[in-house]
Amino acid sequence: MRSSRLTAAVIGSLLVLVGGAAQVVPGTASATGRDDDRLSRGARALGRQVLPAGDGWAAAGPGTTGGSAATPEQVHVVRSRTELVAALGGNNDTNRANATPKIVYVKGLVDGYEDSDGRLRSCADLADPEYSLDAYLAAYDPATWGRVAPTGPLEQARVRSVANQTRQTQINVGPNTTIVGLGGATLRGLTLMVDTANNVIVRNLHFADARDCFPAWSPTDGDTGNWNSQFDLVSVRRSENVWVDHNTLTDGDNPDSELPVHFGRPYMVHDGSLDITHTASRVTASYNRFVARDKVMLIGSSNTVGPDVGRLNVTLHHNLFEGTMQRLPRVRFGQVDVYNNYYRLSGTGFGYALGVGVQSAIHAENNYFALGSDITAADLLYDWGGTAITVRGNWVRSGAALPRPVDLRTAYNAEHDPDLSPDAGWTPT
């Protein structure tokens, strides 16, 4: 279930551009007017491409073919939110059940806040009439409300506002679907939701700023409370055989560093880049760029021992993590193969790279970590209740020092208790 592996030293020395290398350009329109006829030969070939055999967990079982079997009538080029929803089946509420094989090419910028008439809606447009941020801040200030969860009509109005946003910006994808970006295609301000949708391919897209208009205040999250949002750029839930490849995932022109502070904590409007949760499994993420984000990838969302056991099996290879702060990834329960990835990490807000969670089984091999002077190899792992991790062939370069091979587990154990054991209990094949 692995493609060929390079040494981590080679990964670090080759500055390979990922997330957009397979770019194509639409051809001229034909007499028939079908979208399939308007595409270049290269674009048509890219849309029909399937995940190669042996390429990570998504190649397991039946493999991942996406919409490669689509008829010409189910090949679409979309340039707006309305066209995207139509291509995925026509009704965003029911598209997640549309199993018809389909290939959707995205051209240009598609904004999740766009109305059917092309007007961009704002957070104010989506807010419930009884909600305002000013009122929320006044009502639930910990100095007067205390450290208990918000309740009452204003919190209920916030929840209704979130439901309004979900209907607008969450785009539901059904089984047997391939979504491909044509050169420079961007999905902005939306969540691509792959839920109960097996056999999905998402490639060659730029994802930007899936902002939450109505973050929740969680007063018992951490020592002083935190703002939490719920919209990921890409979310995979209750699905199998999903391939996410050659995408770029960022906060766009709305970085966390410029967000305001309320109740002494950053008003966080972003959640994950690519979260894989709720019993999802057989996922491969390859050649993606995760750039300048805080929370990147959560694999498993709960410590509760239950349906996730034996699931959440994921492969991450040849991805670039640049200026990212945590969850690279954070893992619960799953057998997760992390190999040939390139990490460029720095900054005072950095938390950790690999989160070793409850019953997790991470196999980290031949990754290259280029670290700022304020980060060491001991900072790259974090124990979220796990017990073991397999590491081999990883390299670290700290500051201006020369790269060197490092046993990440030994470096972590030297500065933290309890120790992590060296065998995650499985070997990728």
Q: Which residues on adjacent β-strands are paired with residue 362? A: 336, 389
- Nearest 5 degrees, angle CA 240-CA 352-CA 4? 50
Report the distance separating Cα 113 and Cα 125, nearest Å: 10
- Nearest 5 degrees, angle CA 221-CA 290-CA 124? 60
List the end-to-end C-alpha distance of the chain, in Å, as a whole number.
5
Please give the backbone phi and psi of residue 81, each rounded to the nearest 5 degrees, phi first. Answer: -60, -45
| 17, two tokens | 């551009």
Report the distance separating Cα 286 and Cα 356, nearest Å: 21
- Measured in residues, the chain has a length of 429
**Within 295-345, where are the H helices?**
none
Name the residue type at position 4. S
Side-chain-facing half-sphere of 193: CA atoms under 13 Å = 24
Q: Is 327 annotated in the active site?
A: yes
CA 189 from chain centre, in angstroms, equals: 14
Report the distance separating Cα 357 and Cα 282, nearest Å: 19
CA 284 from chain centre, in angstroms, equals: 12
Helix (H) or strand (E) holding 317: strand 314-317
What are the percentages of helix, strand and coil residues in the chain, rounded to 5? 20, 30, 50
Taking CA atoms, 40 is separated from 32, 172, 182, 204, 224, in Å, by: 15, 27, 10, 16, 55
Catalytic residue of the set 38, 158, 327, 409: 327
Of 352, 353, 268, 355, nearest to 303 by C-alpha is 355
Name the residue type at position 48. R
Of 265, 336, 252, 267, nearest to 298 by C-alpha is 336
SS3 per residue for 132-160: CHHHHHHHCCHHHHCCCCCCCHHHHHHHH
Residue with tokens 């500055």: 15
Catalytic residues, by residue number, are 327
